[in-house]
With several copies, the nearest count.
Chain A
């Protein structure tokens, strides 16, 4: 199990490769992953940058709890959550969730659960900078199901 908050841009592919490499070769048959990437538009406006604020200490605890919950509900081998904090630009990854399991159903279910759980529970807040220069706090998430 790993939870990482990154202050610099990260490479989701490299994170997944490292995560899989930490497990015995041939032990898992399924890897489901999700990457949230910053878009250059939101709610009809052009967005040029974003700041991700978090609550140091509480956020990490919550992400670890989310993985523990997934392990209780599904037969998974391991899970990974990586989340950016700080200033990010369009095209940059914001979040990665990945799950390895023997069979695919558990990996799909748990990977999606990680995303929904972190979006509803983990203390992150997004502030967008629009093309006009205006800054605004994102007020709610898009629905996940």
Chain B
């Protein structure tokens, strides 16, 4: 009963190393995953997120086994 969690770029550097999953109990949305993973209340507006490699919004649902990622605005190319 776990949800995989990834952070990228500046967000990755701000998280403790080794965190790669959170307990799925009581988790309903991406924002809930953020709260549990970071121990902060609110997901900042500039943070982008994905579920299972697809862009998603923070209010969207997640379920056991999903891979949720958080990252800053992309700057490739």
CB distance A118 to B71 under 8 Å? no
Which of B10, B54, B71, B75 has the most CB atoms of chain A within a 10 A radius of its CB? B75
Contact of B77 among A55, A61, A94, A140 (CB under 8 A): A94
CA distance A55 to B48 in the complex (A): 13
Whether B77 lies near A53 (C-beta < 8 A) is: no
Task: Report the count of interface residues on B (CB-CB < 8 A).
Answer: 16
Complex formed: what's the CA distance from A123 to B50 in Å? 10
Chain A contact residues, CB within 8 Å of chain B: 36, 52-55, 57-58, 61, 83, 94-95, 115, 118-127, 137-141
Contact sample, A vs B, 24 pairs, CB 8 Å cutoff: A36-B77, A52-B76, A53-B9, A55-B6, A55-B53, A58-B69, A95-B77, A115-B77, A118-B76, A118-B77, A122-B74, A122-B77, A123-B71, A123-B74, A124-B74, A124-B77, A125-B10, A125-B71, A125-B72, A126-B76, A137-B9, A138-B75, A140-B75, A141-B77
